[in-house]
Chain A
Amino acid sequence: MTHVLVVYTDDEPGVLTRVASLFRRRGFNIHSLTVGPTERPSVSRMTVVVDTDANTARRAVEHLRKLVNVLEVQQLGQHAKVVRDLALIRVSANATQRSEVLQLVQVFRSNVVDIAEDSLVIECTGSLGKIEALVDTLRPFGILEMGRTGAVAMTRGLRTDPSLVSSSEPVRAESSQSMSV
C-alpha cells in the first residue's frame, strides 16, 4: 500500500540526491517524489509517496531522520489529509470527438489548456484516484502524451509541524517514538 511522507529539508544543493540515494540504497520503492519551496526561505518540502508495507515505511521515516539535512519527517497515514497531483494530458480528439471530450473534462472539473486540430491538452488537479479515473476515461480516445507532478500532500485541520513556522528549533511532531510492534 502507499504511504505519504512529508519531509522538511534544508534548501541546499544535493539534498534531493541524499534522499533519493537513501531510497535507492534501501530498496524502498518510490511511487512519486516532489520537492519545492516552503513558507520558510531556507526550508524545502518534499512529499514522498512510497509503495510498501507499514514496517518498511516506518523504517524509511527513521532512515530519513538520520539525514543531517532533514529537519522533520511526518508520515501522514494516520491524519486526515489532502493529497493532490497535477497531470497534463494530451488526448487525441478530432473535431467530431472534441465536444465529447470537453464534456468529460467538465465532469472531472478539469481544464482544457490547449486545443490543436487533432488533440487537446487537459490540465487536471486532484487526488491520485481522480487522475487515474480521468486517464482511464480518456484512454479510448488515445492518450498521446502525459506528464504528472507526483503528489503534494498536507494534513487537514492542523499544521503539519507548527514548530517549523515560528521556531528555529525543530521538534519531532509525533508524541512518542518508542514503539510497540
Chain B
Amino acid sequence: MEQTGAQIIWECLLKMGVDTVFGYPGGAILPTYDAMTGYPVRHVLVRHEQSAVHMADGYSRASGRTGVVVATSGPGATNLVTGLATAMLDSIPLVAITGQVGSGLLGTDAFQEVDITGITLPVTKHNYLVTRAEDIAPAIREAFAVATSGRPGPVLVDITKDAQQGKATFEWEKAMPTRHLRHIPPFPAAAELERAVAMINEAKRPVILAGHGIQLSGARAEVLTLAERADIPFAITLLGLGAVPATHPHSLGMMGMHGEAWVNQAIQEADLLIALGMRFDDRVTGRLKAYAPDAKKIHIDIDFSEFNKNVPVDVALGGDLLQVLRAILPKVQSARHTPWLERINSWRGDSAVRDIKNLPDDGHLYAAHVMHDLWKLTKGAAVVVTDVGQHQMWEAQYYHHDGERSLITSGGAGTMGFALPAAIGAKMACPDAEVWVVAGDGGFQMTFAELMTAVQEDVKVNIAIINNGFLGMVRQWQELFYESRYAATPILSPDFVKLAEAFGVHGQRVDKRADVASAVAAARAAKGTALIEFRVEQEDSVYPMVAAGAALHDMIRRPSPSPLAETGADPV
C-alpha cells in the first residue's frame, strides 16, 4: 500500500519507538504536520526552534533515548544549529527532521530555502537531503543508527516538500541500515590489554579520569569495580558527574578549571592516569606541557580520533568502554594504595571551595549556599539541569550527584539558554523525576519564553535563577584578567516574580539564606512549574580556578583574608 512521504516519516518514528517530538511547524514541513494527527505521537510546540533541540537533548540525556526534533526550512532549520552543535560536542544522540523547499526549487534561493545540510555538516555526525518519498525510510532508519552507534551524536534529515507529498510503499525491512557498521573497529589486541593491565597493577599513585563515556557506555559498575579492587581514586569531568557516584569513597570530585585543588593536585602527582571515556578537553588539562608530567597514561575511548589529540598516551584502547573494562578487569589485581590516598586526603583541608558553605549566615546570600541547601533539601536525588556560567560551576561543586543522568549540562559547547528547554525535555523523558533548572539571570533570559511551553504542556520543572546582576563568569574573567573593566556584563532582569505570574507559574524571590528552605519547599509543593529568584552576592567568583594557559595545579585561590575565608574540609 502506498503512503505519502509524510506518513512514512511518522511510520518510521513509531518503528523507532518515538512517542514524543519537539518542534515548530512551517510551510515546508506542513505535509508532515498534517499527517501527524493520524499517529500516537506527542508533539511539543516550542517557542523557538533552538529550544526544540535543547529539549530533545535534555530528553536524551535524561533517558538515554534518541531525541527527535521537527522544524521547517530556512530560519526554522538554521535555528537548530546551536542545539545541534551542543549535542555534537557532548555526544548526544538526536535526530532532527527539517522540511525543505520542493526539489525543483533547490538552489534557486526560493522562499525559506537554506542549504541546511551544508550548514550543519560540521555540527552533525551525518546529514541527508531527501528528495524522493521512497528514500525517506532508509534515511530516517539510518539516521537513528548513526546517531546511536559508536560515539553518539546528532543527525539531520532534510526532506523536500515534494518528497513529503509524494507516494511510496513503506518498506521498513528494506530500509535496514548497514553503512554505519562499515567501521566497527577490531577489539584491542591482547598484548595491548596486557600492557594496560600491567601498568595498572604496577602503579603506585594511580588516578582514574572518569568521563561522560562511562554514562554512554553503561560502564558504571565496571568502573567502580576497578576503583575498589585496585584502590584507585577517581576524578570526574563535568559531564562525568553522576556517571559515577560523588559520595563513593574513591570519588575525589570534579577535575579541571574549577575542580577542587586536591583533585587537580592528585592528577598532577599521579604516576598513572586511566582515562575512561573522556577527551582531555582544555578545561580539564590546563597547560598541556605541564599536564601530569610523571604519569603514564591509558586512554580508553570509542572514538579513535581522540587518541593523542591533546595528550600523548602510552596505551590507547579503542572500543566500547564497557567491553574493554570487562576484558581487563579479570587481570587487575587487588591492591591498596593507602599512602597515596592519605596524601590526597591531606590536601582536602586546603580546599578553597568548601569555605563559603561552612560560613555562618552573615546576611549575604551566596550561590554556594543555595546549591548546598538545594542538594540537602532534595536529598541529592533531583535531576538538575544547569545553564552555563558561574552557577553551573557552583552547582558542580556543591550539588553532589550520585545518580546516573542526574546532572544535565552543556559541557563542550557551553550553550547559554540550554537549561530551561533541556529541563522540560528531561521531565518529559522522566515524568517521575524531580527536575530542577539552575540558571543564571543571563542565560535564563535567552530562552525563558519556554516557560509558556512548560505551561502549555503541563510540565512541572522547578527553576532556581541565580541572579547576581551580571553575566557572572565573564565578569569574573574581567575582574581577574581585564582589570575589572566590566564591559557589557552588568545585566538587568525583569521582575522574575511578576514574570512568573505573567506565565501563570508559581514565583518567589529569596535574598536571605534563612528563606531558602521554605522557598524550595513551596516550589516543590506547587502544582506546576515554579520559579525562585535567588538574589545572590553580585561580585562573588568561582574558586579555585585554573587560569587559561596555566598548569593544572597552579590554581587561583579565593583571596584571603576575606569575609569568605577558608574554613577547612567538608566531609561530603
- Interface, chain A (partner B; CB < 8 A): 10, 14, 17-18, 21, 25, 55, 58-59, 62-63, 65-72, 170, 172, 176-181
Contact = CB atoms under 8 A, between A and B. Distances in A.
Nearest to A178: B188
Interface string B296-336: 00000001110111001111111000000000000000000
Contact of B150 (A66, A172, A177): A66
B186 interface: yes
A112 to B, nearest CB: 42
A55 B308 contact: yes
10 nearest interchain CB pairs? A178-B188, A62-B305, A62-B304, A178-B192, A65-B183, A68-B126, A178-B189, A63-B305, A177-B185, A179-B316
Contact of A17 (B118, B146, B187, B189): B118
Given A68-B126, A180-B192, A181-B312, A59 B305 contact: yes
B318 A68 contact: no
B186 A180 contact: no
Nearest to B181: A169
B121 interface: yes
A70 B285 CA distance: 33
A179 B318 contact: yes
Contact of B317 (A65, A66, A178): A178
Interface of A is mostly: mixed
A69 B313 CA distance: 30
Nearest to B123: A25
Interface of B: 117-118, 121-122, 125-126, 129, 142, 146, 150-151, 179-180, 182-183, 185-189, 192, 195, 303-305, 307-309, 312-318
A66 B303 contact: yes
A71 B182 CA distance: 6
Nearest to A68: B126
Nearest to B187: A178
A103 B179 CA distance: 53
Contacts of A180: 192, 195, 315-316
Contact of A181 (B129, B150, B188, B307): B307
Contacts of B150: 66
Given A18-B121, A180-B195, A180-B315, A59 B186 contact: no
25 contacts: A59-B307, A59-B309, A62-B305, A62-B307, A65-B185, A66-B125, A66-B150, A66-B151, A68-B125, A68-B179, A68-B182, A69-B179, A70-B182, A71-B182, A72-B182, A170-B182, A172-B185, A177-B186, A178-B189, A178-B316, A178-B317, A179-B316, A181-B307, A181-B312, A181-B315
A66 B183 contact: yes
A63 B313 CA distance: 18
A71 B126 CA distance: 15
Nearest to B314: A181
B314 A178 contact: no
B305 A66 contact: yes
Given A59-B308, A178-B318, A179-B316, 14 more contacts: A14-B117, A17-B121, A55-B308, A62-B303, A62-B304, A63-B305, A66-B150, A172-B186, A177-B186, A178-B187, A179-B318, A180-B316, A181-B308, A181-B312
Given A59-B305, A62-B305, A71-B182, A181 B316 contact: yes
B146 A68 contact: yes
Nearest to A18: B121
B305 A176 contact: no
A18 B125 CA distance: 11
B304 A25 contact: no
Nearest to B188: A178
Nearest to B297: A181
Contacts of B305: 59, 62-63, 66
A180 B193 CA distance: 10
